[in-house]
Amino acid sequence: MINALNRKSIMTLFADPMCHYSHRTRFILCEKSASADIEYIDSAELPEDLQELNPYGTLPILIDRDLALFNSRIIMEYLDERFPHPPLYPIDPVSRARSRLLIHRIDQDWYTLLDDVINAGEKKAAKAKKLLRENLIAALPLFEAHKHFLSDDFTLVDGVLAPLLWRLPFYGIELPKEAKVITEYIERVTSRETFQESMSKEEQDMLESYLLMAS
């Protein structure tokens, strides 16, 4: 822990190059145009000093001088407060609380299913794929209501959603034609320059391989 903290003079984000939780923190970091180093580490081979910083042994981990944070949601909220422009949470407390609740539901209802798709056994993964697809289709009216997710402006909610939705085709989750509004939303958000900047080389390679197979 001492080594990891002391050798960093500026903000550093330790992130897994393929992890969707790491990706969303990288996305927000780029949205904020924050001066920071991103160091890519395999989650399965976490160095001992980083394990001491996070008792759960997971990535991402953010170090800002003598502060060490883990949990992607906490890191994203910290970045939004640490770099207040542009603000990604609403200013008023009620709207901010609603956005936080929405992110919690996305994590509980959609991210946990994607976790099962990636990490669970074949039977459980297949069930998670079906359920995630159905849940997204049921949410079509929410995507139709505004340019971004329940807002006309890009918010932290979009920063949470984009890395998840971007990964759907890579794991065999195809949306039907009637879900075009979701496909258009994905294209709109992931075409942002900041999203492109946030992608690791491994994610870029994954995209190139998918496009090659789809052509």
Single-letter amino acid, residue 76: M
Name the one residue in this structure whose structure tokens are 């139709």: 144
Distance, CA of 41 to CA of 164 (rounded, Å): 20
DSSP states along the chain: -HHHHHT-SS-EEEE-SS-HHHHHHHHHHHHTT---EEEE--GGG--HHHHHH-TT--S-EEEETTEEEESHHHHHHHHHHHS-SS--S-SSHHHHHHHHHHHHHHIIIIIHHHHHHHHS-HHHHHHHHHHHHHHHHHTHHHHHHSSBTTBSS--HHHHHHHHHHHTGGGGT-PPPGGGHHHHHHHHHHHTSHHHHHH--HHHHHHHHHHHHHH-
Q: How many alpha carbons fall within 13 Å on the CB side of residue 25? A: 31
Q: Hey, which residues are catalytic here? A: 19
